[in-house]
Structures are given as C-alpha cells and as structure tokens.
Chains A and B, each alone.
Chain A
C-alpha cells in the first residue's frame, strides 16, 4: 500500500475531543463528522484538507475518548494516512478497525514540515519526503493489518471472509 499526499502537521497529545468535539457526537454520519474535524484545534483544517493528504503529529495522537467518530472524521475528510511519534492505544485500534492507515515513525515526524509532499509505502515501511528527498524507515504493517485496511476495515474483512 502506497500513500502520497501533502502534509498537515500537528503537535503532541492531539486528543479525540479536538479531533471531533462531543457536541457533534449526536450523529454518526461520516460526512457530517468530517465537516467538523479538528475544529477546536485548527479551524482551517476542513477548508485546507484535500483527498489523499497526510497528517503528521507528535506523541500520543488520539488520546482521550474511545469515540470511533474521531478516526472516521479524519478518514472521511480525505486523509489517507496519519504518521505520528506515537498513538493512544484505543485510537490505534479504532483506526485499523475502520481502515484508516496509521504508522508510528518519530524520525519522519521530526523531518517532515507542514506542506511537504510525502510518499509512504507501508508494505516496505519506507517513508519518503518528496520535498526534501529524505527517507525514513518504519516497521511495515503485518499482513493481517494490511488486509484489514485494504478491505476498508475489520467488519468488511470479517463479512467478506478475509479475516476469520
């Protein structure tokens, strides 16, 4: 799986309350959730984000509430991949379960600036900053995680018999 996109960069401890504030949790409609994504952290996000964009962030991305609405809002915004120094565990699990690609790579986060164009190959674990030409190495996804993401999430994978 290869992802190419422009980077929107955030700092440490981005919590799920700012990714999608609870006042919008009276719906589970993906488009509506996406229309408020990052609202309390970055009001420019929804107007700036394009299909395929990549979010980079610091430590503990997605901390706080278990709301699956958070990775759903990010994915429905068009974001193809999140690269962080580390993820909060429930967010990590939820992202894989709904088919949002995420990867931990502290060096890449430090070496990538907001607006850079990045290409990430999660089969090989190589992240390339196309703007600077620098390359970073991370763990490739295990095969079962690749399958879940390719099939759009855990439920689809179970329903289609890809994951038993």
Chain B
C-alpha cells in the first residue's frame, strides 16, 4: 500500500521502509523548538533527567517571542531561565530580543527548516513548516524536554485528508481566506489526529507566504500536521534562505486517504471567522455591519512581508477610522527592516497605525493590544477563543491582512473589494 508525504517522512526518520496509519514509531528529530512560555517548563523537566547536554546543540532552538520584550517581572524571569539554559548548553540558535521574531516566521526565514525535515516544537503552530514539505508538529513541554535530551520522539502515524487545489485566487484573496474557508467546511476537529496534505494544480498559484499561512492553521482543524507538496517555488525559497539540502517526499499514487476534498481557489471569497471558534467562517454576504475597536496585523499566521505589502497597498494615503486602534507587528527583524526600506512603515504610521517590534503579544492576550470588556478586534491571527485577546467578553474576528486593512479604514469589518474594487 502506498504512503502519504507525511508517512514517508516519518518512515525515513524511524529507519523503516514503510509505515501505516495507526502504527507507533520512534523517530529521529531534525529540530526541537521552544519559546519563552513553553521552554521554562521543558527546562525544569529536562533537569530531572540528569543529562549534562542536549542531544545536538545545533538542533535545539529557543525563541523569546511570546511575552518578549519582557512584559512583566515574571515574564523576564522566564526569558532569563531560557537565556541561561541556552548559554550553559551552548545552544547555537537562541533568539533573544534584537534577533528574535515570531518563531514560525523566523525559523523558515533563518533557513532552519528544509523539505523532508522532522520538527517538533512546544508550540501548537509548529505545523507551519509543512509549507516547505517538512513534517512538523506541536507538542508539549515534556515532549520538548525528552526531544532535547534524546533527539527522538514517539509518534502514532496519522492517516490523512488530501486537499486537491485547483483554480486561481481572486484579487485580495489570500492563503488566510483559503484556510478559514477550509476550517469552516470541516470544523475545528475536522482533521483531528490526521494530516492535511495539500497538492494539485492550484498549488502553483499559492506563494510560499500563503502556504505558510495555510499550514500554520492546520492545528485549528485539529490536524497533527499540514503539508504541501514540494515544487520549484519551495526549492527556490529554501535556497534563498540558506536552508539545508532539501529531501523531497512525494505521496505515492496509491497512497490511501480518509477523504479527498477538492478546493477550487477561484471560488474563495474574502472570509471572516466569527467568535469564538475558527470554524465560524462567513463571507461578506452572510453578515451586516460589525463595528470594531481594534485591528491587529501580524502573528505567525500573517506577519510576513507579503502581508504587510497588501495591507500597505490598501491603507496608503488613507486614515484609520476614528476610534479604531490599529496595531501592525512585522513578524521578524528582517521583515521589519524590509518593510522600512520599502516605505511600508511610513504608510502605516501616516495612516494612524502603530508599528510594533516583533512579538506574539496581542495574539494570545499577552501584551501590546489587550482588549477591554466587550471590545471587538479584527485580527490576522489564528484563534478567536473566549478571552484570547483580553477580557473574556471581548471578541476576535479572524481575517486576512487585506480584510484587516480595509476594516482599519472603515471602522467596521470590511471586504477589501469594497475599498479597492475587485
């Protein structure tokens, strides 16, 4: 029986010729990731194992991005603990303030992930790297600790849903609309324990930024991982960012899928996920005026340069609506610098938006844009759970950078087609 892309990567890392869904395997890891929230718990657990060093100092990385730059004294202690651990263990890839960015935007940019890799990260959005043809999945701090110690983790081999992409995205429709549409279709547990594999002729229409955004939110459908077939665009991206030699795993023609879902990209419209689940996806014909208090453009989902370019195109020469706080967060230092050199930051600031240093900040209600009772935000982030961005009575509406930028101008949730035409 044939194997899926994910199954092939898992088999190769377990030293097996083949694996099948449901099989338990022990696999070698190419990279183990943690952030300033999850690493402290992992470091405490690691210390109980009595090991002097991590399995490979080049294959463990910590990124201080969630509550950094430190939001309070306790957060500063957590970052300090990571800093000291990485110093002591001589960890090569420790990203502190000044070097850090939002982890899942940072690692591909830094060339730390390549096609065919097996990556675990103590952060649920670790599934992002599937965009580059890697198997990557979120785990908890204990798995991170064991991964740091042994370079191995156990997995149950997942079955898969195949998404066959066709068509071409319409203007101002992006990867975010695609993934919100898909989650709306299959639900927040629609891919529970399974892989979401993306392939088809429509793939060539999706930029690497779009693919990273789509793979990033696979977890919001409950998936173990999201993964894209590797093409020329992937290889170009990996080369450009200095990634290691890619290893391409293509699904067998007779690979078995639980389900094949056809997605015609041409039919997807700007989409918004209403509170309090990402599956509450709606297009603009399905709702009326929703007034907003805040807009956030950033995060591991949509804080990339392509996202800022589209937002700037929409906001250029216009003013943010009265009473709306607009917060723009380039996801990495490099994106920040590129956006500055391209004049995007000037456009944002002149329109009345604030531009922040890279941080996860408001996405998880940490800092840099917390919502008060009953307030509403349109955010390019990935979760709209109760209390996610602040007070439990506040509301988060998930959308693309184009929708967020259009909404910043009008003060209500707005389609980019309304502001810019189709």
Residues on A lying within 8 angstroms of B by beta carbon are 13, 15, 17-18, 21-23, 25-28, 40-41, 59-60, 63-69, 71-72, 86, 88-90, 93-94, 97-98, 153-156, 158-159
Contact = CB atoms under 8 A, between A and B. Distances in A.
Contacts of A155: 45, 48-49, 142, 145-146
B224 interface: yes
Interface in B90-135: 121-124, 126
6 contacts: A21-B365, A23-B366, A65-B364, A93-B143, A94-B141, A94-B142
B88 interface: no
B388 interface: yes
Given A59-B189, A66-B38, A67-B37, A89 B222 contact: yes
A40 B142 contact: no
Contact of B388 (A17, A26, A28): A17
Interface stretch (B66-74, B173-181, B286-294, B319-327): B66-74
B189 A88 contact: yes
Contact of B140 (A17, A25, A66, A86): A66
Interface string B72-83: 101100100000
Interface string B188-201: 11001100000000
B44 A60 contact: no
Interface size for chain B: under 10, 10 to 19, 20 to 34, or 35 or more residues? 35 or more
Contact of B74 (A13, A26, A154, A159): A26
Contacts of B67: 25-26
Interface string B130-158: 00000000111111011000000000000
B222 A60 contact: yes
Interface in B383-416: 383, 385-388, 392
Contacts of A159: 48-50
Given A26-B71, A66-B138, A158-B49, A88 B222 contact: yes
Interface string B367-387: 000000000000000010111
Nearest to A85: B189
Interface centre among A15, A26, A93, A154 (most CB of B within 10 A): A26
A130 B123 CA distance: 39
Contacts of A88: 189, 192, 222
Given A26-B74, A66-B122, A93 B392 contact: no
B157 to A, nearest CB: 13
Contacts of B366: 22-23, 25
B142 A98 contact: yes
Contact of B365 (A23, A59, A86, A90): A23
B385 A15 contact: yes
A28 B47 CA distance: 15
B386 A40 contact: yes
Contacts of A69: 37, 41
Contacts of B227: none
Contacts of B139: 66, 90, 93-94
Contacts of B141: 68, 94
A69 B138 CA distance: 14
Given A25-B67, A88-B189, A89-B224, 20 more contacts: A18-B386, A23-B366, A25-B66, A41-B386, A63-B189, A64-B124, A64-B383, A66-B122, A66-B123, A68-B38, A68-B41, A68-B141, A93-B139, A94-B141, A97-B140, A97-B142, A97-B143, A98-B140, A98-B142, A155-B146
Interface in B40-74: 40-41, 44-45, 48-50, 66-67, 71-72, 74
